[in-house]
Amino acid sequence: METVLKKAKLSRNDIDYVMATGYGRRNFDPANGELSELSCHAKGVLFTNPQVRTIIDIGGQDAKVLRINDKGILENFMMNDKCAAGTGRFLDVMANILQMPVNELEKRAELAEKPAKISSTCTVFAESEVISQLATGETVENVIAGICNSVASRVAGLAKRVGIKEEVFMSGGVAQNGGVRKALEKELKVPIKWSETSQMMGALGAAISAYEQVKKRGVLNE
Amino acid sequence: MSGLKESLQKFHKIASSPKEQLKNYLAQDKKVVICAPVYTPEEIVHAMGMVPMGTWGADIEIKEAKTYFPAFICSVMQSVLELGIRGEFEGASAIIIPSLCDSLKCLGENWKSSVKNIPFIPMVYPQNRKADFGKAFTKAGYERVIADLEKATGQSFDDAKLTESIAIYNEHNAIMRQLSDCLNDYPEITAVDRNAIFQSAFYMEKSEHTALVKDLISELTKTEKTANNKIKIVTTGILVDAEDLLKILDDNDMQIVADNVASESRQYHVDAKPAETALDSLSCKFADMDNCSVLFNVDKAIAQYTVGLVSKYQANGVIFVMTKFCDPEEFDYVMIKKACAEKNIPLLLVEIDRQMTNYEQVRTAVETFKEILK
């Protein structure tokens, strides 16, 4: 927090309310309040894209699908089960096997001629599948496209359980990966919006929520 | 210490120390028969002068049971076997394991190979339990259990004694139903407390548990009722006894106003009614049971039953606690989800198993669900 404040040339006294979100939210002592990252993502996305009704948030360790009603209120959601398949962790593991940075996956996936079939059931199984595919001469690009399809297939299953309602927005770090985005569009047969700041939607939502708290309290630090 | 706190502590103590309970009964020269989930004819064991002690496994690290089970199977079954291998049931005269799901069938067969000093007694139930042939099949299963118990323990069976035991069990069923409703007026009784009351029932002779529950109700009625601002929820699933999960519900001001959980209220839905013999009465009781994922029902009545609970208890939503790898529950989830959606009842699915050490994902889901309910 000190680093962030220093960078913004602010002190703790300049901040009226700190809202913590994410899995570590309960352990962040300087926070005045805490809010689940699902609620924060919903707030953040709706603030920037009020017409969005479905949010697909794929983060480092889990995947979530949120549905918003016409009043802009979160009405339903699903989270992935206890498995890394369909999450950013899955992409990290695969990038590690392929010995390339995770942000290179998108570029290489675009060069694929025929995506390989990679299991969407289990990260550990998929890891051995990727190695086997490479060993049998499959191109790295086809394998990467298969990996993106695998993540998309898993998350699409989750999204269909919640029910897709347009517009659809992708938040979280994996939104940066065009390979997964395009594969998801194909699976769900809907266009998927995203932004360069998709990864920041949770933080934005937390900030909005903190602002609401301060407004409720009626004392805004000038 | 107030009478209410003292009363609650008794349940907590028993719920947290089943091995101690087993030792106590053995020290009183009583024979104990372990009863595995889901529905085991405890009344028969009781009528034969022994203590039926239920087990739903425990939240433990599963090591030895992995020699016998594949990784992707219900952890309730795995942990029951683990406890057996570790000697947690040492001194018990037998274990009865019903065949109500595929995992339970595996548990019985694995038990034979891995826990040789406690005989395994199977209870084979019919899929079609309501027709006369189904009742006859159930009765034949009970007769097999009786024969096996006589052989394993040297105790004998008497139908007249079973009539007495059935009366004790029916009284316990009634008091548990009364308790579940009564707790709704006392939001200070936490989800953790509620679970301790239900869980302790498995480790005690039912007449003793009935007496404790009566005391608790009496203490509750002496307590002044306070305003109830909690979020009312209905829980459904096989097992909802993880303290970390229940604490999350308490932290989020949620009150379980009714449940359709196999290890809780599903045990007490149906009483045995008088019949030609006490054993017929018990067979008919099983035929009358419903609203459980392991009890075949072509109409999937469990879905409407869940919706009915929400309406009856004016609950704000349903939490479906899915025990990982429980196939029957996974089938029923779809029906329940659809039925709730039709009535605009918010439903949260959380997945648990016996080996969970971190509940943060569940916390996130429950907190978000609370936001929706608000």
The domain spans of chain B are 20-160
| Nearest residue of chain B to residue A74 (CA atoms) | B372
Buried b (16+ CB within 10 A) or exposed e, B258-287: bbbbbbbbbbbbbbbeeeeebbbbbbbbbb
Q: Between A37, A74, A75, which is nearest B364 by CB?
A: A37
Task: State the DSSP code for B273.
Answer: P
A36/B346 CB distance under 8 A: no
The span from the CA of A13 to the CA of A6, in Å, is 13
* Shortest CA gap B351–chain A (Å): 7
The span from the CA of A194 to the CA of A170, in Å, is 5
* pLDDT > 70 in chain B, percent: 100
Where is pLDDT greater, at B33 or A134?
A: B33
pLDDT per residue over B296-328, tens digit each?
Answer: 999 999 999 999 999 999 999 999 999 999 999
The answer on pLDDT for B373 being more than 60 is: yes
B372/A75 CB distance under 8 A: yes
> Residue B370 is which amino acid?
K
Q: How far apart are the first and last CA of chain A?
A: 21
- What residues make up the domain containing A95? 89-151
Q: Between A26, A75, A79, which is nearest B361 by CB?
A: A79
| Residue B1 pLDDT class (50, 70, 90 cuts) | low
Q: Is there a cis peptide before residue B38, judged by omega within 30 degrees of 0?
A: yes
Q: Which residues on chain B are in Cβ contact (under 8 Å) with A23?
A: 360, 364
The span from the CA of B162 to the CA of B275, in Å, is 12
**Stretch B56-72: mean pLDDT:** 91
B372/A74 CB distance under 8 A: yes
B371/A36 CB distance under 8 A: yes
* Shortest CA gap B341–chain A (Å): 10
A39/B346 CB distance under 8 A: no
For chain A, say whether B373 makes contact (Cβ under 8 Å): no
Sites in chain A below the pLDDT cut of 50: 222
Residue A161 belongs to some domain of the structure: no
Residue A222 confidence (pLDDT):
47
Max CA distance (Å), chain A: 66
| Nearest residue of chain B to residue A36 (CA atoms) | B364
Q: Helices B159-183 and B191-200: crossing angle, nearest 10°?
A: 180
With a CB cutoff of 8 Å and minimum separation 6, the contacts of A103 are A176, A177
Burial label, B30 (beta-carbon count in 10 A; 0-12, 13-18, 19+): middle
Q: How far apart are the first and last CA of chain B?
A: 36
The span from the CA of B10 to the CA of B23, in Å, is 17
B361/A75 CB distance under 8 A: no
A36/B364 CB distance under 8 A: yes
| Nearest residue of chain B to residue A37 (CA atoms) | B364
**Stretch B262-278: mean pLDDT:** 97
| Nearest residue of chain A to residue B344 (CA atoms) | A75
The span from the CA of B285 to the CA of B276, in Å, is 13
CB atoms within 10 A of CB A180: 29
The answer on pLDDT for B53 being more than 50 is: yes
What total of structural domains would you count in chain A? 1
Residue A220 confidence (pLDDT):
58
Q: Between A23, A39, A82, which is nearest B351 by CB?
A: A82
Helix (H, G, I), strand (E, B) or coil at B315: coil
Q: Which residues on chain A are in Cβ contact (under 8 Å) with B247?
A: none
Closest CA to B361 of A84, A81, A206: A81
Q: Which two tokens stand for residue B342?
A: 């039709």
Residue A200 belongs to some domain of the structure: no
The span from the CA of B192 to the CA of B184, in Å, is 14
A74/B371 CB distance under 8 A: yes
A78/B346 CB distance under 8 A: no
Q: List residues of chain A with CB under 8 Å from any CB of chain B.
A: 23, 26, 35-39, 62, 73-79, 81-82
Residue A101 belongs to some domain of the structure: yes
Q: Is there a cis peptide before residue A212, judged by omega within 30 degrees of 0?
A: no
B364/A79 CB distance under 8 A: yes
With a CB cutoff of 8 Å and minimum separation 6, the contacts of B211 are none
Q: Which two tokens stand for residue A170?
A: 């992708």
Element (H, E) at B254: strand B254-261
**Stretch B263-291: mean pLDDT:** 97
Residue A25 confidence (pLDDT):
87
| Nearest residue of chain A to residue B367 (CA atoms) | A36
Q: Between A26, A74, A81, which is nearest B351 by CB?
A: A81
Residue A211 belongs to some domain of the structure: no
Residue of A19, A25, A57, A82 to mutate for B, most B C-beta atoms under 10 A: A82
| Nearest residue of chain A to residue B361 (CA atoms) | A23
pLDDT per residue over B79-135, tens digit each?
Answer: 999 999 999 999 999 999 999 999 999 999 999 999 999 999 999 999 999 999 999
For chain A, say whether B231 makes contact (Cβ under 8 Å): no
Q: Which two tokens stand for residue A52?
A: 């969005």
CATH architecture type of domain B20-160: 3-Layer(aba) Sandwich (3.40)
Structure ipTM: 0.77
* Shortest CA gap A78–chain B (Å): 8
H helices present in B294-373, as ranges: 301-312, 327-342, 360-373
Residue A115 belongs to some domain of the structure: yes
Residue A221 confidence (pLDDT):
54
Distant-in-sequence contacts of B250-255, Cβ < 8 A, 24+ apart: B250/B190, B250/B191, B250/B192, B251/B363, B252/B366, B252/B367, B252/B370, B253/B229, B253/B370, B254/B191, B254/B230, B254/B366, B254/B370, B255/B184, B255/B187, B255/B191, B255/B228, B255/B230, B255/B231
For chain A, say whether B109 makes contact (Cβ under 8 Å): no
A76/B351 CB distance under 8 A: no
* Shortest CA gap A99–chain B (Å): 30
CATH number of residue A118's parent domain: 3.30.420.40
Residue of B245, B330, B361 to mutate for A, most A C-beta atoms under 10 A: B361
* Shortest CA gap A127–chain B (Å): 19
Distant-in-sequence contacts of B23-32, Cβ < 8 A, 24+ apart: B23/B91, B25/B51, B25/B53, B26/B91, B31/B93, B31/B153, B31/B155, B32/B91, B32/B92, B32/B93
A36/B324 CB distance under 8 A: no
Please calculate the CA angle A144-A147-A151 and round it to the nearest 5 degrees.
Answer: 145
Among the ranges given (B80-89, B109-118, B171-180, B218-227), the one the predictor scored with the smallest mean pLDDT: B218-227
3-state secondary structure chain A: CHHHHHHCCCCHHHCCCCEECCCCHHHCCCCCEECCHHHHHHHHHHHHCCCCCEEEEECCCCEEEEEECCCCCEEEEEECCCCCCCCHHHHHHHHHHCCCCHHHHHHHHHCCCCCCCCCCCCHHHHHHHHHHHHHCCCCHHHHHHHHHHHHHHHHHHHHHHHCCCCCEEEECHHHHCHHHHHHHHHHHCCCEECCCCHHHHHHHHHHHHHHHHHHHHCCCCC
Number of residue pairs across A and B with CB atoms under 8 Å? Answer: 38
- Cα B104 to its chain centre, rounded Å, is 15
A74/B324 CB distance under 8 A: no
Q: For all residues of chain B together, what is the average pLDDT?
A: 96
Residue A136 belongs to some domain of the structure: yes
Strands B317-323 and B231-237, by their bridges, are parallel
Closest CA to A52 of A202, A210, A171, A212: A171
* Shortest CA gap B331–chain A (Å): 14
For chain A, say whether B349 makes contact (Cβ under 8 Å): yes
Q: Which two tokens stand for residue B151?
A: 């052989």
pLDDT per residue over A71-86, tens digit each?
Answer: 778 889 998 876 777 7
CA distances (Å), B67 to each of B108, B110, B113, B265, in order? 15, 10, 11, 33
Closest CA to B20 of B50, B53, B49, B46: B53
Task: State the DSSP code for B64.
Answer: G
The answer on pLDDT for B275 being more than 60 is: yes
Strands A63-68 and A54-58, by their bridges, are antiparallel
Buried b (16+ CB within 10 A) or exposed e, A102-113: beebbebbeebe
Residue A177 confidence (pLDDT):
87
